[in-house]
Amino acid sequence: MDLTLLWIPATVIAAAAQTARNTMQHRLTDTLGTIGATQVRFLYGLPFSLVFLVVVLMVGGESLPAFNWRFAAFVAGAAVTQIAATALMLATMQLRSFALSTVYIKTEPLQVAVFGVVVLGDHLSVWGACAVIVATTGVVLMSLKGKGATLAGSGWRPALLGIASGAGFALSSVGFRGALLSLDSGSFVLRATSTLVAGLVLQTIILVVWLLVFKRDVLLAILRSWRSSLLAGCVGAVASQFWYIAFALTATVNVRTLGLLEVLFAQVVSRKVFAQTATGRERLGVGLVLVGVVLLLVSTST
């Protein structure tokens, strides 16, 4: 069976599920705070990822891939950089507006392109590079909203923090792809699911320990709100599952560039759920994202 293009629907599903999870987390922030809502994706996503793993093992009749230290190093690095990237993102948003912070953070696809080539030796064609640049420019335009939302004069500290956050997310994506590629056995679905479980286990442990030491009241609030958090955890686990399936089938930069469809889904959510209207600049940004996506699909199918 030809699986060459399966990464495309996997990425679209992942982007849609991540948009839904972000909407749920946005609502949980009111009761749990930013850190608490962030931990929900790990703590309540872990049980569902374990269910996914059991199902994959039963349906495929396979055994777990053999452990190796290269896999462990990639997972550990990716898990820690993803947590650090989230912390840097929150710090950036405390210094500047959400919109302007997003401009810096959404440089992730550009950085993924660089890290993917350097760390994993992923190939990036000229058209693929153009797709990344065009789509990222579209996201930047969509993020620059309102008066004063320009890069000039925004200050070096939020810029450095935001770009560092984008770098952290880029490194984590490349790291998780490196982890699943380092596994010597198993189908691409099993390797993706095993990597997902390993990453969530480590991230859950790290954040639970941190909350126990510094924010015990937040941890207790997370546990008390399990009913409202389970759905967000489930949807987040589904998103991660399909991200990793896509990572197993193609270069990280392809996945993350097509994954910018998430911002289009977010536009729909903003209009339908939060009754927000799109500006002319946002519409232009949407158009550029779509052009970038088309260029990406053409470059990867030829």
Helices 7-43 and 188-214, interaxial angle, to 10°? 20
In this prediction, residues 18-27 reach a mean pLDDT of: 74
Q: Comparing 233 with 278, which gets the higher pLDDT?
A: 233
Which percentage of the chain shows pLDDT scores above 70?
76
Confidence of residue 301 (pLDDT cuts 50, 70, 90): low
CA end-to-end span of the chain, whole Å?
Answer: 19
Confidence of residue 86 (pLDDT cuts 50, 70, 90): confident
For residue 57, the model assigns a pLDDT of 94
Q: Give burial (CB, 10 Å; 0-12/13-18/19+) of 280.
A: exposed
Q: Comparing 61 with 148, which gets the higher pLDDT?
A: 61
Q: Judge contact between 112 and 174, C-beta under 8 A.
A: yes
For residue 275, the model assigns a pLDDT of 47
For residue 106, the model assigns a pLDDT of 67
Task: Report the C-alpha gap between 240 and 46 in whole angstroms.
Answer: 11
Q: Judge contact between 88 and 164, C-beta under 8 A.
A: yes
Q: For tokens 């705070």, what's the residue?
A: 33
Q: Comparing 192 with 139, which gets the higher pLDDT?
A: 192
Confidence of residue 302 (pLDDT cuts 50, 70, 90): low
| Tens-digit pLDDT profile for residues 185-203 | 889 999 999 999 999 999 9
Contacts 24+ apart (CB under 8 A), 1-5: 3/188, 3/249, 4/249, 5/301
